[in-house]
Chains A and B, each alone.
Chain A
Amino acid sequence: MPVVALPHTRLHVQEMNAGAPETVLLVHGMFTNLSIWYFNIAPLLAQHFHVVLYDLKGHGMSDKAGSGYGLQVMSEELLALMDTLQLDTVHLCGYSYGGLIALQTAIHHPERIKRLAVIESPDPQEQETMNIVDIYSKELLTHFVNGQPAGAGAPLGKRQLERRHRMYEFLLKESTIRQDMQQEQHFFEQAAITRIPHDTLLIYGSDSDCVPAGQALQEKISRASLLYVNGDHNIPVQSPFVIGEALQDFFVNGPVKNTTAAYVTDKADLNINLS
């Protein structure tokens, strides 16, 4: 298992197509792990790019951590990982809370990022949405663990139950993850977001509760395009091939030409074909 040692933690990292000249760095969300990229989205991107995906601390196969889940620390760890892997600049993509980590990095270290993609990141101000994200994350885990569609209710095996229970017990009761996330509630209000200079692709599920957050980011970031994909907060699992192709197109070719605002602005046009 490839592990990268950073000053305060050790992260599980996977790389694909390491010889490619440009790198895409993928950041998952809270309560999930790098497997949301590994099977479909990362291999698609690896047709063109060196792809780096890692487990955030406290998740997947990275080290446990009792604290330090705020965006500044998580972004510093992302940059430390880039330094360790000798990556000066990357195309950066984050999902859910990972998208907020990507935005934080774009604000404070724009020189390290070529193009930016944000998938289904919530507005931390919307506590209700954050709770929904939490619930979705649990369902996502159930989905992975069960091999059944989320909510199908198939019985869990004893070992799976114990693993899942241990992770939630630790993160929610023994770590500062909830407090750290709550500390970020004013993240969208900061003027610095409006100064993000990158071409930015925002991808949101057409039925997601996070859509208003995507629209808010599109208004704030001058070079942002907003793409709706059929599904809800779980679109990386529900539509991995659509998302993989959209990211590949964006990182290879940049935003669609002659479009300054959005790929899709009308929810009636949701069934788009990206190819």
Chain B
Amino acid sequence: MDQLTHPTQLQEEEILNVLKQFITEVIGEEFVEDIDITPQSSFTKDLEMDSIEIVAFSEKVKAHFGKDIDFTGWLSNMDLDEIINLNLGDITKYIRSCL
């Protein structure tokens, strides 16, 4: 019988895989094929995401991880330069800390 993984058991690697899937959905599979997505990947420099794509990504994070995390609230304390320079490792650590 399959065993459900409780959100609190999520490890950073699992979270990162979820985030990679969201990025694929937002920017498209054909572009992701050419990119090595790692914890060091930043939104704009490495993933070439623009602001409206970061919005779409944020909404997916909120929808998936639910009210356990206040992702928009976390981002709202940063200015735009900080947000677009965030890397996936930062986001993974934040999500992990909330679960």
Interface residues of A (CB under 8 A from B): 1-2, 14, 16, 33-36, 38-40, 43-44, 55, 60-61, 141, 144-147, 149, 157-160, 163-164, 237, 240-241
Contact = CB atoms under 8 A, between A and B. Distances in A.
Contacts of A141: 50
Contacts of A35: 51-52, 54-55
Interface string B30-64: 01000000000011110010111011101100000
B79 A240 contact: yes
Given A34-B52, A159-B31, A163-B50, A144 B79 contact: no
Given A35-B54, A144-B51, A159-B31, A43 B85 contact: no
A2 B56 CA distance: 10
A77 to B, nearest CB: 19
A60 B52 contact: yes
B48 A38 contact: no
Contacts of B27: 159
A170 to B, nearest CB: 15
6 contacts: A144-B51, A145-B51, A147-B45, A158-B48, A159-B31, A160-B48
A34 B55 contact: yes
A270 to B, nearest CB: 20
Contact of A147 (B76, B78, B81): B81
Closest 5 CB pairs of A and B: A43-B76, A147-B44, A35-B51, A157-B48, A147-B84
B52 A240 contact: no
Interface of B: 27, 31, 42-45, 48, 50-52, 54-56, 58-59, 72-73, 75-76, 78-81, 83-85
B85 A147 contact: yes
A164 B59 CA distance: 22
A140 to B, nearest CB: 10
Contacts of A38: 51, 55, 58, 72
A237 B56 CA distance: 19
Q: Which of B27, B59, B79: most chain A CB closer than 10 A?
A: B79
A268 B51 CA distance: 34
Q: Which of A16, A147, A159, A160: most chain B CB closer than 10 A?
A: A147
Contacts of B76: 39-40, 43-44
Nearest to A60: B52
A147 B90 CA distance: 17
A67 to B, nearest CB: 22
Q: Which of A40, A61, A159, A164: most chain B CB closer than 10 A?
A: A159
A145 B50 contact: yes
